[in-house]
Amino acid sequence: MHLLLWSEMAECTVAPVAMEDSDREADSASDEQDSVPASPEPRANEVEKDQDKEYVGFATLPNQVHRKSVKKGFDFTLMVAGESGLGKSTLVNSLFLTDLYKDRKLLNAEERITQTVEITKHTVDIEEKGVKLKLTIVDTPGFGDAVNNTECWKSVADYIDQQFEQYFRDESGLNRKNIQDNRVHCCLYFISPFGHGLRPLDVEFMKALHEKVNIVPVLAKADTLTPTEVKRKKIKIREEIEQYGIKIYQFPDCDSDEDEDFKQQDQELKDCIPFAVIGSNTVVEAKGKRVRGRLYPWGIVEVENPAHCDFVKLRNMLVRTHMQDLKDVTRETHYENYRAHCIQSMTRMVVKERNRKYALLIPPAEAALAHFITLESHITSTSVFGLMSQTTSLPLHCTDLPANCTAQR
Ligand code: GDP
């Protein structure tokens, strides 16, 4: 058997191609001779070649980013909070067309008397047109259910802090690849349609969490109200949000060069707050079409009909227009605040620890001087993590945090 050497293989394969190239060159040269235009104007492909010389190629950067992020996939964590029975699970299922609550166990009245707030997490991988989304829904069963609901927002706040803490640890660790980001990007807060505006528990919850998470208030079960009642309730709730100094998620302002249609849509979205929503897991027939809705003796309420409720506006906002902004605000504002507070409180603890050690070793006058020197040198020249490594068992919980260190949007 004759084995081809690399040089022979190269001859076999490259030679014909080279011949073709030279043929093509000769052809094009003769073409050029045959059809040289009389005018000295450059031909179109020459103009293109000249343009190519000036084209560096960074205009393709958005495509590169797009390709990379599609490959990596996206994640989003949505929290739903509010009294049980307000339609949270029904709405989540309607929003993402999934059944996330298959194994849910509902408690009876007796069990709920002493119930504490639980935090449950459901994750689903959804794919649409090749784009993958890992969606995590964090639910808060038991919130507002007990007889005494004092501070029942606390476990929700602790959960959000724990996710920040985990991320902070991972980000400061040695292996920063593949960090699992469980930070909560948005909290849909369900307001009862039966009260007169906000209840004390609603105010307490939103005030306790507005610095930690993007709160989007929703008016639950809007089909139980007439359009006029919905309008009045929305105005009242917006006034109360303002009055109590609650900072809900703010939609970013439109750029001045956006077209009028876009600006109008944006304004409509802002005027919608709180979104009046209706949820349903059943498909009914309305005007010959099968739609997601609620069938009553007097008619059908369609979940996706903008004349009936703000469900579509809420879904578009969450998924199509503001998902990335919700993630950006979480990272740039809420997480930054947590991180800054943590670093401050850790620095304080380390300095205190150092001073305690010095005080044990040296007499009082020198200790006072050493205190001053260590304080200054630590704050100005040593990194917090350098300090952390010298005092090994520091807890990362930032409970005694100063209030003057908050990142603003
Ligand atoms: P959750 O405890 O907040 O998760 O509430 P569920 O989603 O389990 O809903 C409680 C009850 O309210 C169920 O009987 C639902 O069918 C009903 N429900 C859910 N959404 C709506 C709605 O938009 N309007 C009305 N009228 N009822 C709803």
Mean pLDDT of 197-214: 93
Q: What is the pLDDT of residue 375?
A: 53
* Res. 226: pLDDT tops 90: yes
When mean pLDDT is compared across 14-18, 89-93, 147-151, 187-191, the lowest value belongs to 14-18
Q: What is the pLDDT of residue 61?
A: 85
Q: Where are the beta strands (DSSP E) in 33-180?
A: 74-81, 120-128, 131-139
Environment class of 79 (CB within 10 Å of its CB; exposed 0-12, middle 13-18, buried 19+): buried
| Protein residue whose Cα sits closest to atom 7 of ligand 1 | 87
Maximum separation of any 2 CA atoms in the chain, in Å: 102
**Model confidence at 120, in pLDDT bands (50, 70, 90)?**
confident
Average confidence score pLDDT of the chain: 77
Residue 182 CB less than 6 A away from ligand 1? no
Residue 301 CB less than 6 A away from ligand 1? no
SS3 176: coil
Residue 81 CB less than 6 A away from ligand 1? no
Higher pLDDT, 104 or 14: 104
CB 218, CB 191: distance < 8 Å: yes
For 162-203, write each residue's pLDDT tens digit. Answer: 999 999 999 888 888 778 889 999 999 999 999 888 999 899
For 3-20, write each residue's pLDDT tens digit. Answer: 333 444 333 333 333 334
| Protein residue whose Cα sits closest to atom 9 of ligand 1 | 87
Give the rounded percent of residues in the chain with a pLDDT score beyond 90. Answer: 34
Q: For a ligand 1 pocket test, name from 90, 95, 225 the mutation site with the most ligand atoms within 8 angstroms of its C-beta.
A: 90
Tell me how far the alpha carbon of residue 87 lies from the centroid of ligand 1, in angstroms: 3
Residue 93 CB less than 6 A away from ligand 1? no
**Model confidence at 387, in pLDDT bands (50, 70, 90)?**
very low
d(CA 278, CA 311): 7
d(CA 320, CA 333): 22
For 329-373, write each residue's pLDDT tens digit. Answer: 999 999 999 999 989 888 888 888 888 877 776 666 666 666 555
Give me the half-sphere count of Cα atoms (radius 13 Å) on the Cβ side of residue 406: 10
| Protein residue whose Cα sits closest to atom 17 of ligand 1 | 87
Mean pLDDT of 93-103: 72
Tell me how far the alpha carbon of residue 43 lies from the centroid of ligand 1, in angstroms: 69
Which atom in ligand 1 lies closest to the alpha carbon of residue 309? 23
Q: What is the pLDDT of residue 250?
A: 92
Residue 94 CB less than 6 A away from ligand 1? no
Q: Where are the beta strands (DSSP E) in 86-199?
A: 120-128, 131-139, 186-191
For 286-327, write each residue's pLDDT tens digit. Answer: 888 888 899 999 899 999 999 999 999 999 999 888 999 999
Residue 87 CB less than 6 A away from ligand 1? yes
Q: What is the pLDDT of residue 350?
A: 85
Give me the half-sphere count of Cα atoms (radius 13 Å) on the Cβ side of residue 397: 6
Q: What is the pLDDT of residue 323?
A: 92
Higher pLDDT, 404 or 136: 136
Residue 80 CB less than 6 A away from ligand 1? no
Q: What is the pLDDT of residue 3?
A: 38
Burial 310-345 (b: 16+ CB within 10 A, else e): bbebbbebbeeebbebbbebbeebbbebbbbbbbbb
* Res. 139: pLDDT tops 70: yes
d(CA 227, CA 301): 13
* Res. 408: pLDDT tops 50: yes
* CA-to-CA dists, residue 341 to 184, 221, 348, angstroms: 18, 39, 11
Mean pLDDT of 223-247: 95
The residue written with tokens 């050029």 in the block is 32
Taking phi over 0 as left and psi of -120 to 50 as alpha, with beta for the rest, 240 belongs to alpha
Is cis: bond before 274, omega within 30 of 0? yes
Which atom in ligand 1 lies closest to the alpha carbon of residue 84? 2
Q: What is the pLDDT of residue 173?
A: 83
In terms of DSSP bridges, do strands 283-286 and 289-296 run parallel, antiparallel, or are they unpaired? antiparallel
Q: What is the 3-state secondary structure (H, E, C) of 258-269?
A: CCHHHHHHHHHH
